[in-house]
């Protein structure tokens, strides 16, 4: 049943076996796995079935970073039934997108992403990828995607085959794409009809209250307005509110300790990670034949499964070169639009407008002159107001265009990169307060120098691979940026603020997702990831770990497990 929290009497206490805070993919998966059991389960959702600006404003806060997007706190997550699945918007093709059929990207991480690596501080998981494979199989069924096979060969067709680099340093792997609506639509509707599950909307969880020694959660405090609310008393409490809000709720829960719950070692909120999206460089195919061999790298469907291939490096190269893991996607560039020469000329004009006539400014102009015709074409297309569709990792269909080899002149490569765990990148409580009177989130984020060095070295290796392959020409982004700090686009993958570790001095939760030292408090979602899992989008792993946690909770409540 779905219940509007506004209908609950002020100061009422609701008794349940398991209380799940949050209805994103983690919370919905967990509740689905616990449905139809002799257990009373409630889900608490701050939002409603429809998006509300006022509710979303509870995510407002401050980003302390010269590089990370300052609007990420509001646009990167969603307070609504179904959580951030409401914001996913990948278009496999225009026909489906016009009907509101949008997707999310799924992939299992590489084996190396779970392993301890000396060159990556704080790396290593309490278990390995093979231990999660049964749960990834279940996650595939929950996310309603294809077989658990991410090798390009399995998905090749006569027209779309894996690119042969002639060099075992570079390789290709597959992303699969699932419907976003199964979470905020299918699973919420299914759970609303289950007798042992209640979903409370407009229920803003603001604090967890423990017993006097802080070892048991006794009540969950739920605000309806600033001066009205109710309580939930549960044998087990699970936070599933996302990579930032899980940490914020622990920090807000200060009835016993001023540092919050689970924060004895000052770890709550630390090790925040994303998968920074950066420009990787420009790839110009050497011939039409090469262009026509790139169909596997566009969004398309094979045997009913939406998928797309990407470039990356072998595990051997990552280890030998001590590189962070990453993946690269193709974004075709229309002739006359933003080429290398245009980028330089735009930087020249921007510097002039700022009154900065320096050697660096003149260098921008000099670098644009050999291909100044691109600048003219770019300017003319803008004067003509020619709108060109953007194709890339979030929109497919370019390979099916009849004039693809004449319409496009090159590919911009976009990278989704692994970020090294850094305790100084963190979620904190800020000075501003939300309309319920609670401190807002303050996020601190910066690049590690080792991450920047890894990105640059990866571009250098890829240039060498392309040069030796005969496939074309690749110009690294660090040359286009003239050594500047990479521009960052957040992929909205908020990771690591309540990290998992068997040692309480190094992690907030243990290998079973239980908060160290608190008997009945668990956390679900990507905040428990000790590392970013390479470049892998977190949703599939979030769902896999939620099924694993569900099994653990069933055992704790005396229920049998069926795999």
Q: Contact 508/514 with Cβ under 8 angstroms?
A: no
Per-residue tokens: 186? 């299918």
In the numeric block, the tokens 């658990």 are attached to 148
CA dist., res. 167 & res. 462, Å (int)? 10
Beta pairing partners, 35? none
In the numeric block, the tokens 């370019």 are attached to 398
Per-residue tokens: 160? 């779309």
Instruction: Name, in order, each residue with C-beta under 8 angstroms of 273's C-beta and a sequence gap of 6 or more.
Output: 419, 421, 422, 425, 493, 495, 496, 529, 531, 532
**pLDDT tens for each residue of 531-557:** 999 999 999 999 999 999 999 999 989
pTM of the predicted model as reported, rounded to 2 decimal places: 0.92
Pairing of strands 13-21, 217-225: unpaired
Q: Contact 309/152 with Cβ under 8 angstroms?
A: yes
Instruction: Name, in order, each residue with C-beta under 8 angstroms of 33's C-beta and a sequence gap of 6 or more.
Output: 546, 547, 550, 551, 554
CA-based angle 289:293:294, to the nearest 5?
130
CA dist., res. 174 & res. 277, Å (int)? 18
In the numeric block, the tokens 């933003």 are attached to 338
Residues of the chain with pLDDT under 50: none
**pLDDT tens for each residue of 134-147:** 999 999 999 999 99
How does the average pLDDT of the chain come out, rounded? 92
Kindly list the distances between the CA atom of residue 68 and the CA atoms of 20, 165, 276, 449, in Å, as whole numbers in the listed order: 31, 34, 9, 15
Q: Contact 98/190 with Cβ under 8 angstroms?
A: no
CA dist., res. 492 & res. 331, Å (int)? 20
Pairing of strands 472-476, 228-239: unpaired
Residues in the chain: 563
Phi (first) and psi of residue 201, to 5 degrees: -95, 165
pLDDT at position 248, please? Answer: 98
């Amino acid at each position: 049943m779905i219940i509007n929290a506004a209908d609950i009497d002020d100061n009422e206490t609701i008794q349940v076996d398991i209380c799940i805070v949050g209805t994103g993919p983690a919370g919905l998966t967990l509740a689905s796995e616990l449905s139809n059991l002799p257990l009373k389960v409630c889900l608490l959702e701050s939002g409603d079935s429809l998006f509300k600006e006022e509710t979303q404003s509870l995510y407002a806060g401050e980003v302390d970073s010269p590089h990370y997007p300052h609007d990420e706190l509001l646009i990167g997550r969603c307070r609504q039934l179904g959580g951030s699945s409401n914001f996913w918007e990948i278009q496999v093709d225009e026909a489906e997108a016009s009907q509101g059929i949008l997707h999310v990207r799924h992939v299992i991480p590489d084996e190396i992403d779970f392993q301890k690596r000396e060159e990556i501080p704080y790396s290593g998981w309490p278990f390995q990828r093979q231990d999660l494979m049964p749960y990834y199989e279940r996650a595939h069924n929950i996310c309603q995607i294809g077989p658990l096979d991410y090798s390009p060969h399995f998905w090749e067709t006569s027209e779309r085959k894996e690119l042969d680099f002639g060099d075992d340093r570079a390789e290709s792997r597959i992303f699969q794409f699932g419907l976003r609506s199964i979470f905020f639509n299918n699973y919420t509707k299914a759970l609303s009809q289950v007798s042992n599950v209640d979903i409370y909307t407009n229920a803003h969880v603001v604090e967890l209250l423990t017993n006097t020694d802080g070892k048991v959660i006794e009540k969950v405090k739920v605000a309806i307005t600033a001066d009205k609310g109710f309580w939930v008393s549960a044998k087990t409490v699970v936070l599933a509110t996302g990579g930032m809000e899980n940490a914020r709720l622990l920090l807000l829960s200060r009835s016993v300790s001023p540092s919050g719950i689970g924060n004895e070692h000052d770890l709550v909120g630390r090790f925040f990670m994303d998968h920074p999206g950066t420009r990787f460089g420009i790839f110009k195919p050497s011939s039409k034949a090469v262009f026509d061999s790139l169909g596997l790298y566009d969004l398309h469907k094979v045997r009913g499964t939406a998928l797309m291939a990407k470039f990356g490096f072998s595990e051997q190269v990552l280890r030998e070169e001590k590189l962070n893991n990453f993946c690269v996607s193709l974004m075709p560039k229309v002739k006359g639009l933003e080429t290398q020469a245009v980028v330089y000329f735009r930087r020249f004009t921007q510097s002039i407008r700022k009154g900065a006539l320096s050697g660096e400014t003149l260098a921008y102009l000099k670098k644009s002159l050999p291909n100044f015709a691109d600048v003219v074409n770019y300017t003319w297309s803008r004067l003509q107001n020619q709108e060109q569709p953007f194709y890339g990792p979030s929109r497919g269909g370019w390979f099916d265009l009849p004039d693809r080899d004449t319409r496009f002149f090159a590919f911009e490569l976009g990278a989704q990169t692994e970020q090294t765990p850094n305790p100084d990148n963190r979620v904190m409580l800020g000075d501003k307060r939300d309309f319920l009177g609670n401190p807002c989130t303050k996020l601190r984020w910066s690049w590690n120098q080792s991450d920047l060095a890894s990105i640059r070295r990866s571009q250098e290796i890829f240039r060498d691979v392309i040069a030796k392959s005969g496939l074309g020409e690749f110009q690294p982004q660090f040359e286009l940026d003239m050594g500047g700090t990479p521009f960052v686009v957040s992929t909205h993958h908020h990771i690591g603020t309540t990290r998992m570790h068997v040692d309480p001095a190094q992690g907030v939760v243990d290998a079973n997702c239980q908060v160290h030292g608190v008997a009945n408090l668990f956390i679900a979602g990507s905040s428990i990831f000790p590392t970013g899992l390479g470049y892998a989008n977190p949703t599939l792993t979030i769902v896999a770990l939620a099924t694993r946690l569900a099994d653990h909770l069933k055992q704790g409540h005396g229920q049998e497990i069926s795999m």
